Amino acid sequence: MSEESQVRLDKWLWAARFFKTRALASQAVAGGKVQVGGLRVKPSRLLAVGDAVRIQKDQDEFAIVVRALSSQRRGAPEAQLLYEETPESIAARAQAREAQRLLRVVGAAPPGRPGKRDRRLIRRFIKKEQ
């Protein structure tokens, strides 16, 4: 990690491995999926150590504090040293993951197309409805 004083937000998000490419990071920031200090910002916003960043990516939402700056993408263990996730964020993501898991189990889709027996049961059910 280099001793930089400020780095562009999109470049830092890419270096911290939140996004696979810098273009994806820039699109997310421009689309309002990334906030710094609770405010919507531009991809060119200069980030400093201690800034609070909120990142919404797919179903997950991260609330992090910037601990170090880097404009170079390195391995995942080094990238994790660039930020610290808040305990509330970790708990909220775990709770959301558990809720998603429970929803999957309750409303499970059938394993595939209905077989001969299943089609007979469906027809019998439909006839009773009419």
Would 96 be classed as within a structural domain?
A: yes
CA dist 72 and 49 (Å) reads 16
Domain tally for the chain?
Answer: 1
Residue 91 lies in domain: 7-104
Closest CA to 68 of 89, 47, 97: 47
State how beta strands 83-85 and 60-66 pair: antiparallel
pLDDT, one tens digit per residue, over 69-95 is 999 999 999 999 999 999 999 999 999
pLDDT, one tens digit per residue, over 28-85 is 999 999 999 999 999 999 999 999 999 999 889 999 999 999 999 999 999 999 999 9
Tokens found for residue 106: 């309750």
Would 122 be classed as within a structural domain?
A: no
Residue 85: give its domain's CATH number.
3.10.290.10
CA dist 114 and 16 (Å) reads 46
Would 127 be classed as within a structural domain?
A: no
Would 129 be classed as within a structural domain?
A: no
Would 74 be classed as within a structural domain?
A: yes
Say which DSSP state 112 is in.
Answer: S
Which pTM does this prediction carry?
0.76
